[in-house]
Each structure stands twice: as structure tokens, then as C-alpha cells.
Chains A and B, each alone.
Chain A
Amino acid sequence: MAITSVKNLKEFSTNNDRFEGAHLLCPGCAHSMIVRELMNCTDDNLVISSNTGCLEVSTAVYPYTSWDTSWIHIGFENAATAVTGAEAMYKARKRKGTLKDPDAPVKFVAFGGDGSTYDIGFQWLSGAMERGHDFTYICLDNENYANTGGQRSSATPIGATTSTAQAGTHSYGKKEKKKDIVSIMAAHGSPYVAQLAPNKWKSMAKGFQKALETEGPCFINTVSACTTEWKFDPKDTIHVTDLATDSLMFPIYEIIEGHELNILYRPKNIISVEDYLGAQGRYKHLFKPQNRHVIEQIQKDIDDNWARLQRREEARI
């Protein structure tokens, strides 16, 4: 039974589970919450691909698998191409009448981390979006190469320390700002892109369903708090994600057909980004006097982005 009829988290937890509980993800990792929600929000058959990354190495270690559905992994960069190749085969075989059950409803979904989405698999993602396949790409954005021990990605925010953009006596961590992947994907002419978060699980389920039901290439960036590399207690995953969405570090919104922007969550009390940064070890050094200017910069960027999103929502452009 899909999540459409589920009113609360207790009911959600009784859902048919196609992502098995036995996997090797870190305790407190948000990936499994996001993946489970995607797989539970539809009753349709799923063909899923994953880029190399935390999710992939934790869920398909031979002779075990966590996937009670069709699943494929090829490499670090090509999950979008793998699943769209399968989608092309589905169309060909449907036309030729060689499918075992031609009427079985099916959805094609690719998962990638921010490393494979923003960086190494960017070209493969862009190509698949441009070709207009009927699939949904979901980025599990934990803002670093967590699978290999926490190196910077182009999704790592300015000021975060990573093993390849370290904070030290001469450095406040990463110098560059995070890439705006949602806008880039919207610019591909995608019919549906969104940024969603697992703490807002109802809007996330709704967004997933919208993407799956929309014909064409859809993209969703999900905030996936990383207990290991963001450095917070595993029990605090949803708490840290609450801070992310309430500080507007991660605004929750969708863009339909490249122009119709809808903000999906407006915090009643917008909190200071210091509350968000202060909850994580990766930003600890920013609270030293010589680095305070970076916090000011982050806050300013958040304010500017929030103003921009609201203007876009109003202007419908």
C-alpha cells in the first residue's frame, strides 16, 4: 500500500517495505529514510539505478541485497544513463510485445550522491535530462564524498571543513560556494524539479509522487544529513535537518516546467544559521573570531537566496 493513504508516521512505519532494513549505512544516515520513502510512495513496479556511493556500497554487497525491486549499479557517474537505457529497452520491448507483463505499471528512478550528481556524473545526468526520458533522478545530497571519507564536493558549502578542503591555521575550510543544482536542472526544461527534506516527510512524499507521475525527466535534490562527516550524534539526524530547513540553509521548494516556483515550507520562526552550523562539528572552526566573517557571509547568502526564491515564486518566471 502506498503512502498516499497514510496519515501519520506510525502508519507509514507499517508500510510494505521494498527497501530492506538490513543494510550497511551508518546509524543515523538519512539516505535510508529518503530511499524508503521514495519506494513506499508508489505501488508501481520500480527499476532503480544507483551511482557508486554510500547507498550503493551499503545495499548490494554480494551475496546480499537490500533491494526488493529491480536494481542496477554500473559506476560512479552513470546511474542516470543506466536507468534511461533500461527505460529505452522498456519502450522497445513494449512496442515489440516481448515484455512478460506489458500492462504492469513501472517507474524508473536513479539515485546518486552529491559527488556523482554535482561532480563526476554531471554530464551523464545532463545528457539523460536533455534526452527527455521518463525517469526521476534523486540526489542524496550530504554535501561531501562521504563514501570515501569526507572529501569536498561542489555541493559542500563554503566554510565546511572536509579532508580535501581543511580548516587550519591558514584556512577556514572550503572557499567556494555550493553549486545551485536545482536551478541548473530546472534550466534543462525539466517538467518537475524540487528540493526536499526527510524531516518534512509529507511534502517529500508528495514531491516524490509528483515526480514519478510526471512524464519526462524529473530531478529532486534531497537533503541527507550525514552523521559521520557533518559530525553530529546519530540520534540527531532529524533535529539537524530541522535546523537546516528552519534556518533556510535548505529551503524546500519545487519548480514546475522551469518557471512555476512554489515554496513548500515556510518556517514559522526562521532561525539564525548559527544554530544550524553550531550543531555540527564540520563548522566548529567558524566560531573562532577570525572566521566569524564566513558565518556572516553564509547568513547573507541565505537571506539573499530566500528573497530570490520568494520573488521567483511571485513572478512565476
Chain B
Amino acid sequence: MAEKFELNEVEVWDGNYATSQALRQAQVDVVAAYPITPSTPIVENYGSYVANGFVDGEFVMVESEHAAMSGCIGAAAAGGRVATATSSQGFALMVETLYQASGMRLPIVLTVVNRALASPLNVRGDHSDMYLGRDSGWIQLDAFNSQEAYDLPLCAFKIGEDMSVRLPVMVHQDGFTTSHKAQNVYPLDNDVAYNFVGDYVPVDEMLDFTRPVTHGAQTEEDWHYEHKAKQHKALMDSRPVIDRVLAEFKELTGREYKRVETYMMEDAQIALVILGSSVETAILAAKQLREEEGLKVGIIAPRCIRPFPYDLIRDAIDNSSNLKAICCMDKSAPGGAMGMLFNEVSSAAYTTNTRPLISNYIYGLGGRDFAIDEAKRIMKEQKAHADAGHITTNIQQFSGLRGPKLGFYETRRS
């Protein structure tokens, strides 16, 4: 029996510490992990819980992130709760096994502290690793601050382990701006948190010797397609489960989360679509512009990256009858395409009645600061698009970049 970890009603935790506490309270059976900046403290903190008897589970320090997820897969197939943490290059090294974990329908929780991908080597936060995982078949949730870095992993176990879902779940938070920023966090009582997550229910476990199971079979053209289609269906069908778990969490804590968070969208004329710790910056900028210039700015912040909430994005656009222009803010090098948010939001917007103008900004790569003034400048530019009735700049631009302006792809609408 684990020692009781005493908690105050309000704690001052950074995102990493908040996440490690959620893993402790969920009574994870096996954590197999490898440290990497900026998620290292999650693993270190968990190690301190192990060393001081606050957890009963196994803590396996492996020799690489690939092995971390490999160990998690073996452990999960053996029928218990499993979690780990990583960032950036570690995430990239894990990619092969991410697809294997989801294809084997193992509800592992991976807490990802977002960081840029080399080269050039960079330890600061952007969303390159988050974007790298977006076709891996995992549910991806995004925490914008420390409180959410505590709350969402608790929800993640409950979502992934739901009998109708049985999929692995990532919970993202921004490197440094969330992971290393101490904020007030309201934790749940240990028992309340565990009871919310619930006991782990094994499915096809390798340690039930009365019923031998084969995990990780081979399929070729005769069955592979059916398996992948079913996997996609499970991911798409997880949406009501995510909604239900978030609603239960609200009932328990009063803290409300949705697959898409919207702020000030009712009367918005322009909107920013943005992720992570930048959401709070964007909200502040929008409020200031509303006060200073009467500019009606709203914010759309997808909390669920996969399955992508096309339905809710469409609703957000359709329910904002004044909306004329949307700017999608992508914090990841687009690699010869438009940013991910631009592509996804455009898909959703194309099925709306109003089809607002949509442009794309790349910003904040490698931890480049994103401040309120920059957000306001981008919002005002959207106002110019809205007034002109067409996009007055290149559709894709780079914000906060030193040197000459960089932009690509002009509109033909005028």
C-alpha cells in the first residue's frame, strides 16, 4: 500500500509537476520512461514518488524513448495501467512504437511536453512533436496551463480505458511556458482523483493464462485495411466519450473543458485559431483590442487535436454570424505545405454556410516568444482582410521572424 501524499487545497506547481502528480494519483502500474528536456522533471518527480513509497507500481528506466514506449506496450498488453512522458527527439524516436501502440489498441497515456525538432537542435517549445504524432492513431489532448496539465491526464486515462475506446491518449503541454511555469493548481484529493479515473479493467491480458492471446499479429492486404478502418472508427467514435468524461470532470471539479474551447465568439468578426500556452496570450490580446479599438475578436482553441473536432469547429463558425476572417496560428515548421491548423480548419469551414476568409501564420518556432502586441498585429491584419472582402496578404505568412517578410501563396479572391 502506497504512502499517503499530503496535498493542500491549492498548490503552486509547474506543468511537469502537475502531470507527475496526476500519474501518481491514477496509481499507474508501470511507468517505463527515458528522460528528455523539457519533460525530464515528470520522470524525475515520479522517481521521487517511487523512492519515497508514494506509488506501488513499477518504474522502469529504459535506455531510449523507443524502448520506453516498447516497454509500455508490453506492460499494457499484460493488463494494467501504463503511462510515460517525452518530448521532441524522444517523441520522434518513439514514432514507430506510437503506431504499434494504437494499432494494438492499448490505452497508454503519453504526456508530451512539446518541443521543437532538430535540426538545428533546439530545446525550446513549439508544436513540431505534437504535429508529428497526428497520424499515429492516438487521441491527442492539449493542456494550455499547469492546472490543465494536471486535470487532463486524469481524464486521459478514463477516456482511453473506456471499453468503447481502448486507444492510447497523448496529453500535450508547451515546453517551458507551461512545463516550467509555476502556477496555482487545485489538486483533487487522492481518493477522489483515483475514484474518478477508476480501476483498470484488463482486456485480452497476457497474464490471464486460462485464455492465451496473440498480440501484434501480421495482416496483409486481406485484413490490414479492415483493421485500420476499425481503428479510425474507434478514434472518431471516441468523441462522445471524450465529451462525457469532460462533463463528469466538470461535475466533480467545476472545471469545464471542451473538445474545442471558444472565447468571445458570439459576436466575433474575426477569429484566431490557436493552441497551447499561446491561447491565454491570444485571449488577452483580443480583450485589449475589444476595449481599445472595439474590434470584435474571438478565439477558437482546439483542445482535442485528434480526433480533430471538425464538427465543433464548424459549429463555432456557423454560430458566429458576423465572422468574416479566421487566422490559423501554427507553431510548427510546415515543411512545404500550409500549417496543420489551416488545413483542418479550412476543411471544417468549407462545409459552413458563411465560409469566412482563412489565412495561416507560422509563429513561435523553437521557442520564439509570442507576445500580446504580436497577436494584436495579426488580429488587426485580419480586420483588413475582412474589410476588403479578400485576403490582402499572402495566405501563409511567418510572424515574429527576423529579416525580410516571408509569405507564400496569394489569393485569387478579390
Interface residues of A (CB under 8 A from B): 45, 47, 49, 56-57, 60-63, 65, 67-75, 77-78, 81-86, 88-93, 95-96, 98-101, 104, 106, 123-124, 126-127, 130-131
Residues of A within 8 A of B66 (CB): 77-78, 124
Q: How large is the interface on B (under 10, 10 to 19, 20 to 34, 35 or more residues)?
A: 35 or more
Residues of A within 8 A of B75 (CB): 85-86, 88-89
Pick from B57, B70, B212, B213: contact of A75, CB under 8 Å: B70
Residues of B within 8 A of A81 (CB): 32, 62, 67, 70-71, 74
Please tell me if the beta carbons of B207 and A99 are within 8 angstroms of each other in the complex.
yes
Residues of B within 8 A of A60 (CB): 214, 216-218
Q: Given contacts A90-B207, A93-B79, are A127 and B74 in contact (CB under 8 A)?
A: no
Residues of A within 8 A of B64 (CB): 123-124, 127
| Docked CA distance A104–B206 (Å) | 13
> What are 26 A-B contacts with C-beta separation under 8 Å?
A47-B206, A62-B218, A65-B217, A69-B212, A71-B213, A72-B74, A72-B216, A73-B216, A74-B97, A74-B100, A82-B71, A82-B74, A84-B74, A85-B70, A85-B71, A86-B74, A86-B207, A89-B78, A92-B58, A92-B80, A95-B56, A96-B29, A101-B208, A124-B66, A127-B63, A131-B61
Please tell me if the beta carbons of B218 and A101 are within 8 angstroms of each other in the complex.
no
Q: A83-B74, A85-B76, A130-B63 are in contact. List 10 more A-B contacts (CB 8 A).
A: A63-B223, A70-B213, A72-B215, A73-B216, A74-B97, A81-B32, A85-B30, A86-B78, A91-B58, A93-B78
Query: Shortest CB–CB separation between residue B63 and chain A, in angstroms?
Result: 3
| Docked CA distance A197–B329 (Å) | 62
Please tell me if the beta carbons of A74 and B218 are within 8 angstroms of each other in the complex.
no
Closest 9 CB pairs of A and B: A85-B74, A127-B63, A85-B71, A89-B78, A82-B74, A70-B206, A78-B70, A73-B216, A81-B70
Please tell me if the beta carbons of A74 and B216 are within 8 angstroms of each other in the complex.
yes
Residues of A within 8 A of B80 (CB): 89, 92-93, 98
Closest to A47 in B: B206
Please tell me if the beta carbons of A82 and B70 are within 8 angstroms of each other in the complex.
yes
Pick from A61, A77, A131: contact of B217, CB under 8 Å: A61
Total inter-chain residue pairs, C-beta < 8 Å: 162
Q: Given contacts A83-B74, A86-B74, A86-B75, are A92 and B207 in contact (CB under 8 A)?
A: no
Query: Shortest CB–CB separation between residue B41 and chain A, in angstroms?
Result: 22
Residues of B within 8 A of A68 (CB): 212
Query: Shortest CB–CB separation between residue A125 and chain B, in angstroms?
Result: 10
Query: Shortest CB–CB separation between residue A49 and chain B, in angstroms?
Result: 7
Query: Shortest CB–CB separation between residue A44 and chain B, in angstroms?
Result: 9
1/0 contact string of B16-32 vs chain A (CB within 8 Å) = 00000000000001101
Query: Shortest CB–CB separation between residue A48 and chain B, in angstroms?
Result: 9
Pick from B78, B104, B200, B216: contact of A85, CB under 8 Å: B78
Q: Given contacts A98-B80, A126-B63, are A74 and B58 in contact (CB under 8 A)?
A: no
| Docked CA distance A73–B71 (Å) | 12
Query: Shortest CB–CB separation between residue B96 and chain A, in angstroms?
Result: 6
Query: Is B60 positioned at the interface, with any CB of A under 8 Å from its CB?
Result: yes
Query: Shortest CB–CB separation between residue A106 and chain B, in angstroms?
Result: 7
Those of B196-221 within 8 Å (CB) of chain A? 200, 206-210, 212-220
Closest to B222 in A: A62
Closest to B199 in A: A98
Residues of B within 8 A of A130 (CB): 63
Query: Shortest CB–CB separation between residue A43 and chain B, in angstroms?
Result: 12
Pick from B104, B210, B212: contact of A100, CB under 8 Å: B210
Pick from A49, A56, A78, A89: contact of B58, CB under 8 Å: A89
Pick from A75, A93, A101, A126: contact of B209, CB under 8 Å: A101
Please tell me if the beta carbons of B62 and A47 are within 8 angstroms of each other in the complex.
no
Residues of A within 8 A of B206 (CB): 47, 70-72, 86
Closest to B59 in A: A88
Please tell me if the beta carbons of A88 and B217 are within 8 angstroms of each other in the complex.
no
Please tell me if the beta carbons of A47 and B215 are within 8 angstroms of each other in the complex.
no
Please tell me if the beta carbons of A123 and B212 are within 8 angstroms of each other in the complex.
no
Query: Shortest CB–CB separation between residue B373 and chain A, in angstroms?
Result: 48
| Docked CA distance A81–B61 (Å) | 11
Query: Is B110 positioned at the interface, with any CB of A under 8 Å from its CB?
Result: no
Please tell me if the beta carbons of B60 and A85 are within 8 angstroms of each other in the complex.
yes
Query: Shortest CB–CB separation between residue A82 and chain B, in angstroms?
Result: 4
Closest to B63 in A: A127
Query: Shortest CB–CB separation between residue B71 and chain A, in angstroms?
Result: 4
Query: Shortest CB–CB separation between residue B23 and chain A, in angstroms?
Result: 14
| Docked CA distance A85–B104 (Å) | 15
Q: Given contacts A62-B223, A123-B63, are A84 and B77 in contact (CB under 8 A)?
A: no
| Docked CA distance A56–B219 (Å) | 12
Query: Is B156 positioned at the interface, with any CB of A under 8 Å from its CB?
Result: no
Query: Shortest CB–CB separation between residue A172 and chain B, in angstroms?
Result: 36
Please tell me if the beta carbons of A74 and B73 are within 8 angstroms of each other in the complex.
yes
Residues of B within 8 A of A62 (CB): 217-219, 223, 227
1/0 contact string of B69-113 vs chain A (CB within 8 Å) = 011111111111010000000000000110010001000000000
Residues of B within 8 A of A69 (CB): 212
| Docked CA distance A84–B75 (Å) | 8
Query: Shortest CB–CB separation between residue B50 and chain A, in angstroms?
Result: 11
Residues of B within 8 A of A91 (CB): 58
Residues of A within 8 A of B227 (CB): 62
| Docked CA distance A56–B100 (Å) | 15
Please tell me if the beta carbons of A93 and B218 are within 8 angstroms of each other in the complex.
no
| Docked CA distance A75–B104 (Å) | 12
Closest to A85 in B: B74
Residues of B within 8 A of A124 (CB): 63-64, 66-67, 70
Q: Given contacts A60-B218, A61-B217, A70-B206, are A49 and B74 in contact (CB under 8 A)?
A: yes
Q: Which of A68, A75, A86, A126 has the most CB of B within 10 A?
A: A86
Query: Shortest CB–CB separation between residue B117 and chain A, in angstroms?
Result: 21
1/0 contact string of B267-293 vs chain A (CB within 8 Å) = 000000000000000000000000000
Please tell me if the beta carbons of B70 and A106 are within 8 angstroms of each other in the complex.
no
Query: Shortest CB–CB separation between residue B72 and chain A, in angstroms?
Result: 6
Please tell me if the beta carbons of A88 and B223 are within 8 angstroms of each other in the complex.
no
Residues of A within 8 A of B71 (CB): 81-82, 84-85, 88
| Docked CA distance A90–B61 (Å) | 17
Please tell me if the beta carbons of B67 and A127 are within 8 angstroms of each other in the complex.
yes
